[in-house]
Chains A and B, each alone.
Chain A
Amino acid sequence: MLSESAKTEIKTLMTKYPDSRSAIMPALHLAQREIGWLPDEAIQDVADLLGLSKTEVNSVATFYTMYAREKPGAHTIFFCADLPCALRGAEDMLEHIEHKLGCKAGQTSADGKITLREAECLGGCNHAPVMLIDGVEHQQDLTIEKIDEILERLKA
């Protein structure tokens, strides 16, 4: 499943830790970057490289929210569900997004374009409500209008 170059990169990562198994998190990131998510085969590959069992790698991959064990849509939105955002209307906004996408948080829109997930604090409370797109793009001071624009753009 993983490309030879990814495997080589993971092997290099392993040399950077006193216990090579500690490379598990960067290795999973690497695999996810290459494949887009972490299917069983990727978990198996990482396990084989690190000398761990599939069950152990799965535990780490499912503990952290930023690893995807299920195939996501073309884009992934993490929408903050924590208190400061909620105080600024995030709950209604989330409902609005769910309505627009036709799916609940934790699911992917029927057209396979967008996966919607709830997140705990994204670190932008002073600009609440906040969302994170594809792990790199922060959008803040959200309003319904702003959200509609973003969704249009992602769906295009």
Chain B
Amino acid sequence: MPKVTIDAKTVEVPNGTLVVEAAKKAGVEIPVFCYHPKLASVGMCRMCLVEVGTPRRGKDGQIEMDANGNPAIAWMPKLQTACTTVISDGMAVRTDSAQVADARRSVVEFLLTSHPLDCPICDKGGECPLQNLTMAYGPGKSRFPVESKFHNEKRVPLGDLIMLDRERCIQCSRCIRFQDELADDHVLGFQARGRGIEIVSLSTPEFDSKFSGNTIDICPVGALTSRDFRLSARVWEVHDYPSVCAHCSVGCNLLICERDHQIKRIVPRENEAVNAIWICDKGRFAHHFTTAPDRLTTPLVRKNGSLQPASWDDALDAIVAKFAEIKKQSGASALAGLGGDRTANEDLYLFQKLFRQVLGSNNLEHRVGWSASNVGVDLVRMYGAGADTNLGALDKSVTALVIGADPEEEQPVIRLRLTRSVRNFGLNLIVANGRVTKLASHAKQSIVYRYGAESAFLLGMIRTILDEGLENKEFIGARVNNLDAVRKSIEPFTVEHCAELCDVKPEKIRDAARLIAQSPSFLILYGREAMAAQQHDPAITSSIETLLLITGHVGRVNNGLIALYPHNNSTGAMDFGLLPTHSAGRVKSDVKGLSAREMLSGKARALYVMACDPAADGNFTKPDLLVVQDLFLTETAKLADVVLPAQSFAERDGTLTNTERRVQLFRAAIKPIGESKPDWWIVAEIAKRLGATWHYRNSAEIMDEIAATVPLYAGVTYAALSDNVMMPRPPYGQGNPSDEPTEIAMGELENVSSGKQWLSVAESDASAKFELFWNEPRGEGREAKNELVLAVARSLYDRGTLVGKTKIVQPRVPAPYVEINSQDAEQIGVGDGARVRVSFDSRVIELNARVDGHVPPGTVLVPNNLDGTAALPMGAWVKIEKV
């Protein structure tokens, strides 16, 4: 590796390293404003000027030596920007000379000629690079009279979430570059030139991006501030608690900044393996549900027909008595538990333990309102992507197939990270879905298949691989059985036939298959739309497995399967057997319990609902005993006999398992609201009153038990989850100012690790043998006259209880709509924005039409988490008429 000498310290760094990064390695601080390690260099601010020289070569091309026998350095006559200069072997850099100090002083002095003296009333004060670098490198005094300061507009709303102060902006373009390079929403730009240059957004709505809040963190001054946090606390007054986002299955690492037992703001916490230094706006802003005034504060018991406040003892005793009574009358099979996949692992583990061990019932579920078939419980257990697969750093040796998913709406930060992998590292991305999603614009191959024919597309690829002899013969020979049977069954499915079934050109199927087979590494990420299709078509499951196995792409880092689940702990709910078919550790149960649909239709006499709201989706029959444990008086809670107030993620400790099977620890940040209790505590109290000898004093003890008894979680204790990673890095001035997290993470913190992933069977057992199996694809007949097929998706901002409590994000929640292809729209006689009536089965809903080219002809799409759109059947035939 090339050697570089910086202020007499010599370091070895890889080719292509920037001087500023090499200096970091040598422990030398080079101040920067416009440079950001996650963004392309532009060299705009000149703060990083240094002296640069290279070895002097004589006429003969040989390096000349100085009197001491060291290579003589030819210094460049002018200072160079460290953020754009790439190192070369033997380069010398001086950052400690008078010339450099003078340049820094001048740059700061110049920046300050148009910067207000706002620090005392600026949100950024205390964590502001301009403030800090002015103290460290600036002149004590300006030569420019204060009257000559340049003034510009202050308090310019830049959309609903962010406030812009134009005179604080130092025109570094970090915000613009983040939006262009990573968020891929090109909605920020400079306007005009010279001193009059300003940030504008011309999108509708303004600053239309799901990632806008990140620009607040990376703005090196107080030009971009949060309209939610603005002026509500000084950053040195808040305490930062490490947490994990409660909203989606990415599990972004957060800091909850608390003051006076209130959440003042949420900022990202660096974790290169999960979210790098980014979070989405939902995770950042939609936290007000935790302290909403309508949080449940005491237990409620139904008396004389209405729910009335009660003591914990009364409420719990009432439940236990009724549980015992029903069990005696109708047996344990009349008791059922519906647990939400938003609760922590400790809660889920105890919940199922209560049912399976104390009550003796296997009636457990967590999937309410979304697909209820296999959804990869076994697939992920077998072939889950190798541990340490980093979705933000997949290079050109990796091919990723994202199928039936829309990460932009459902797992935003995963979309962001895949974009980075494509742009910066050359990931080969194949995006396949029944419509065009945002991620598809980055794909090397974008495939739009016919909804309902997902398996035909997968089979076409398998067939290509087998026909062209591209399968991994060595792996199959050693580890895979039953290929001959599959070869036989797949006989009628030629690529051409599959192509016709799924409406994709045969060559596109072949190209995708070849890319996959020839790639050293291959990942499948499959999402909710594919999972919903799995319900009707088991060939999707078998094809995913076959595709992974015949190419041998399992059991290694960057290989295998990632199921993109909807909620923050969907994986945990499966891990701990909130399923009628599997118990804790994803072990298949002998007896099959009731499905969610059966529980809700009255088959269970006693139903214990923890953190979900099945009644909101309709079709709910109240059982004899209904216990609801939640943060709010949900639709289901309103019908309950007993309501128990639970605590939000901000009030308690716990662990969550993200969609990549990464177990992460979060810590309490604020005091409990009212008399609310952690879910695990409530479950344990009920168990104790039913005679169990449980003695958990805190959630860490539950995790200790899990770590000792559930093999998937072997060794995953709180101690293991808080090992040796210090947060944050040193504050400005004491460490390196261009280390990203110093701008977002201030204050003292305990240790937090980047999480622990459990290993799939393919990874943990290097000699495991795999069985291929065949499911006949179930294509449906098409071409029904005047009918369209319904695709159901989700919108990031929804009408749910959690998002609904944060006013500031409400304008971002879309009005319910249906996306229609322009051809179909023409036939129906409607245009963009028209009102239409959508009818299917026995339901009719009225929606706004969107005609913007995202769905193919014959398909319409409705997000099912907006007003009145709950519980839509994916793949149903619908009729659309003009209103």
Q: How far is the CA of A54 from the CA of B202 in the complex (A)?
A: 6
Q: Are A55 and B193 in contact (CB under 8 A)?
A: no
Q: Is the CB of A53 within 8 A of B192?
A: no
Given contacts A53-B203, A54-B203, contact A62 B188 (CB under 8 A): no
Q: Residue on B with the closest CB to A59?
A: B189
Residue of B190, B193, B200, B202 with most chain A CB atoms under a 10 A cut-off: B202
- B187 — nearest CB in chain A belongs to which residue? A55
Closest to A53 in B: B186
In angstroms, Cα B200 to Cα A52, docked, is 15
Whether A62 touches B191, Cβ cut-off 8 Å, given contacts A55-B201, A55-B203, is yes
Q: A52-B186, A53-B186 are in contact. Are A59 and B191 (CB under 8 A)?
A: yes
* Residues on B with beta carbons closer than 8 Å to the beta carbon of A54: 202-203
Known: A58-B200, A58-B202. A53 touches B187 (CB 8 A): yes
Query: Is the beta-carbon distance between B186 and A58 smaller than 8 angstroms?
Result: no
Task: Report B182-213 CB contacts with A as 1/0, cut-off 8 Å.
Answer: 00001111111100000011110000000000
Q: Bound complex: CA of A63 vs CA of B186, how far in Å?
A: 17
Candidate in A40, A54, A55, A58 with the most chain B CB atoms within 10 angstroms: A55
* Chain B positions within 8 Å of A62 at CB level: 190-193
A24 to chain B, nearest CB (A): 13
**Residue A19 is within 8 A (CB to CB) of chain B in the complex:** no
User: How far, in whole Å, are A59 and B201 apart by their CA atoms in the complex?
Assistant: 10
Residue on A with the closest CB to B180? A56
Task: State the CA gap A52–B189 with chains docked (Å).
Answer: 12
Q: How far is the CA of A59 from the CA of B193 in the complex (A)?
A: 9
Complex CA gap A58/B193 in Å reads 12
Point out the residues of chain B lying under 8 angstroms from A43, CB to CB: 202
For B200, the chain A residues whose CB sits under 8 A away are 55, 58
Using CB atoms, name the residue of chain B closest to A60: B189
Which residues of the partner chain A approach B192 to less than 8 Å between Cβ atoms?
62-63
What are the residues of chain A within 8 A of B203 when measuring CB–CB?
53-55
Complex Cα–Cα for A40 and B200 (A): 14
Bound CA span A63–B202, Å? 16
> What 1/0 flags go to A37-57 for Cβ under 8 Å of B?
000100100000000111110
CB distance from A54 to the nearest CB of B (A): 4
Minimum C-beta distance from A65 to chain B (A): 8
Cα-based distance from A56 to B187 in the complex (angstroms)? 8
| B440 shortest CB reach to chain A, Å | 15
B residues near A63, Cβ cutoff 8 Å: 190, 192-193
Residues of A within 8 A of B188 (CB): 55
Q: Give B822 Cβ to nearest chain A Cβ, in Å.
A: 15
Chain A residues near B190 (CB-CB < 8 A): 59, 62-63
A40 to B202, CA, bound (A): 10
Complex Cα distance A53/B204, Å? Answer: 11
A58 to B198, CA, bound (A): 12
Expressed in whole angstroms, the Cα–Cα distance for A61 and B190 within the complex equals 10
Instruction: Say how far B65's CB is from chain A's closest CB, in angstroms.
Output: 46
Residue from B186, B189, B192 with most neighbouring chain A CB atoms (10 Å)? B189
Give chain B residues whose Cβ lies under 8 Å from the Cβ of A53: 186-187, 189, 202-203
Alpha-carbon separation in the docked complex, A53 to B186 (Å): 6
Q: Which residues does chain B contribute within 8 Å of A40, judged by CB atoms?
A: 202
CB A42 to nearest CB in B, in angstroms, measures 13
In Å, the complex CA distance between A54 and B201 comes to: 9
What's the minimum C-beta distance from B89 to chain A, rounded to whole angstroms? 33
Q: Which residues of A contact B202 (CB under 8 A)?
A: 40, 43, 53-55, 58
Docked Cα-Cα span, A43 to B188, in Å, equals 15
Question: A residues within 8 A CB of B191?
Answer: 58-59, 62
Quote the shortest CB–CB distance from B51 to chain A (angstroms): 32
Q: Closest Cβ of chain B: how far from A50's Cβ, in Å?
A: 12
Whose C-beta in chain B lies nearest to the C-beta of A44?
B202
Complexed CA–CA distance, A56 and B202 (Å): 9
Instruction: For A56, list chain B residues within 8 Å (CB).
Output: 186, 189
A9 to B192 alpha-carbon distance, docked (Å):
27
Cα–Cα distance between A59 and B176 once the two chains are bound (Å): 11
Q: Which residue of A lies closest to B191 (CB)?
A: A62
Nearest A residue to B186 via CB reads A53
Interface string of A58-76 (1 = CB under 8 A from B): 1100110000000000000
Q: How far is the CA of A140 from the CA of B366 in the complex (A)?
A: 82
Closest chain B residue, CB of each to CB of A64: B193
Chain B residues lying within 8 Å of A52, measured Cβ to Cβ, are: 186
CB neighbours (8 Å) of A55 from chain B are 186-189, 200-203
Give chain A nearest CB distance to B158 CB in angstroms: 11
Smallest distance from the beta carbon of A121 to chain B beta carbons, Å?
15
Q: Which residue of A lies closest to B192 (CB)?
A: A62
Expressed in whole angstroms, the Cα–Cα distance for A103 and B188 within the complex equals 33
Closest-CB distance, A37 to chain B (whole angstroms): 16
When chains A and B are docked, how far (Å) is the Cα of A52 from the Cα of B191? 16
- Closest residue of chain B to A65, judged by CB? B193
Cα–Cα distance between A140 and B189 once the two chains are bound (Å): 37
Q: How far is B173's CA from A63's CA once the two chains are assembled, in angstroms?
A: 15
B154-195 with Cβ < 8 A to chain A? 186-193
A40 to B203, CA, bound (A): 12
Specify which of A52, A53, A63 lies most central, judged by the most chain B CB atoms within 10 Å of its CB. A53
User: Which of chain A's residues have a CB closer than 8 A to the CB of B186?
Assistant: 52-53, 55-56
Interface string of A109-141 (1 = CB under 8 A from B): 000000000000000000000000000000000
Q: How far is the CB of B81 from chain A (nearest CB, A)?
A: 22
**Cα separation A9 to B193 with both chains bound (whole Å):** 29
- Give the complex CA separation of A58 and B187 in angstroms: 11
Within 8 A of A (CB), among B456-494: none
As a 0/1 sequence over residues 222 to 238 of chain B, the CB contacts with chain A under 8 angstroms (1 = contact) are 00000000000000000
Q: How far is the CA of A39 from the CA of B772 in the complex (A)?
A: 62
Closest chain-B Cβ to A25's Cβ sits at a distance in Å of: 15
B201 CB contacts on chain A under 8 angstroms: 55
Give CA–CA (A101, B309) in the complex, Å: 78
Which A96-113 residues sit within 8 Å CB-CB of chain B? none
Give, as a whole number of angstroms, the nearest-CB distance from A136 to chain B: 23
Nearest A residue to B206, CB-CB? A55
A62, B186: Cα distance in complex, Å: 17
Q: Which A-chain residue is minimally distant from B207 (CB atoms)?
A: A55
Give the CA-CA distance A76 to B718 in the complex, in Å.
72
A40's closest neighbor in chain B, by CB? B202
Distance from A60 Cβ to chain B, minimum over Cβ atoms (Å): 9
12 sampled A-B residue pairs with Cβ under 8 A: A53-B189, A53-B202, A54-B202, A55-B188, A55-B189, A55-B200, A55-B202, A56-B186, A58-B200, A58-B202, A62-B192, A63-B193
Besides A54-B203, A55-B202, 20 more A-B contacts (Cβ < 8 Å) are A40-B202, A52-B186, A53-B186, A53-B187, A53-B189, A53-B202, A53-B203, A55-B187, A55-B201, A55-B203, A56-B186, A56-B189, A58-B189, A58-B200, A58-B202, A59-B190, A62-B190, A62-B193, A63-B192, A63-B193
Top 9 A-B pairs, shortest CB-CB distance: A53-B186, A59-B189, A55-B189, A54-B202, A55-B202, A62-B191, A62-B192, A63-B193, A59-B190
